[in-house]
Amino acid sequence: DIQMTQSPSSLSASVGDRVTITCRASQTIASFLNWYQQKPGKAPKLLIHGASSLQSGVTSRFSGSGSGTDFTLTISSLQPEDFATYYCQQSYSSPLTFGGGTKVEIK
């Protein structure tokens, strides 16, 4: 199985901050990397697919980059509605696997 490791597991940031979350795959996954946002009690929401493609309807504050084994999700200017947990997920090979999550909290 491909292991997905996110860092940090949590972070505190202020509104307006630039936030970067990292995801590392245990083996190369090309650009088969997705990012999701999950708020408490809600289903995950797709933000980024194919490592860098913004899902339709998602604000351009979110961006993704990377290929191979190292990927990043960047929030350019953190807004109150962005406080949530973020997950990466690889779709390169079965079984599909998710990272452990990064909780973004208010500083």
Partner 1 sequence: QVQLQESGPGLVKPSETLSLTCTVSGGSMTSMTSSNYYWGWIRQPPGKGLDWIGNIYHSGTTYYNPSLKSRVTISVDTSKKQFSLKLSSVTAADTAVYYCARRTIVGAYTDAFDTWGQGTMVIVSS
**Among 53, 59, 77, 79, which residue interacts with partner 1 (rule: CB under 8 A)?**
53
Which CB sits closer to partner 1, 17 or 50?
50
- 68 is a site residue for partner 1 (CB under 8 A): no
- 45 is a site residue for partner 1 (CB under 8 A): yes
Q: d(Cα 33, Cα 39) in Å, to the nearest integer?
A: 20
Scanning 15-23, 75-83, 88-96 for contacts with partner 1 by CB under 8 A, the matching segment is: 88-96
Q: How far is the CB of 102 from partner 1 (least distance, A)?
A: 11
- 25 is a site residue for partner 1 (CB under 8 A): no
Q: d(Cα 39, Cα 2) in Å, to the nearest integer?
A: 25
- 40 is a site residue for partner 1 (CB under 8 A): no
Q: How far is the CB of 16 from partner 1 (least distance, A)?
A: 28
Q: How far is the CB of 84 from partner 1 (least distance, A)?
A: 14
Give 47-94 as a DSSP string: EEETTTEEPTT--TTEEEEEETTEEEEEESS--GGG-SEEEEEE-SSS
SS3 content of the chain, % helix, strand, coil (to 5): 5, 50, 50
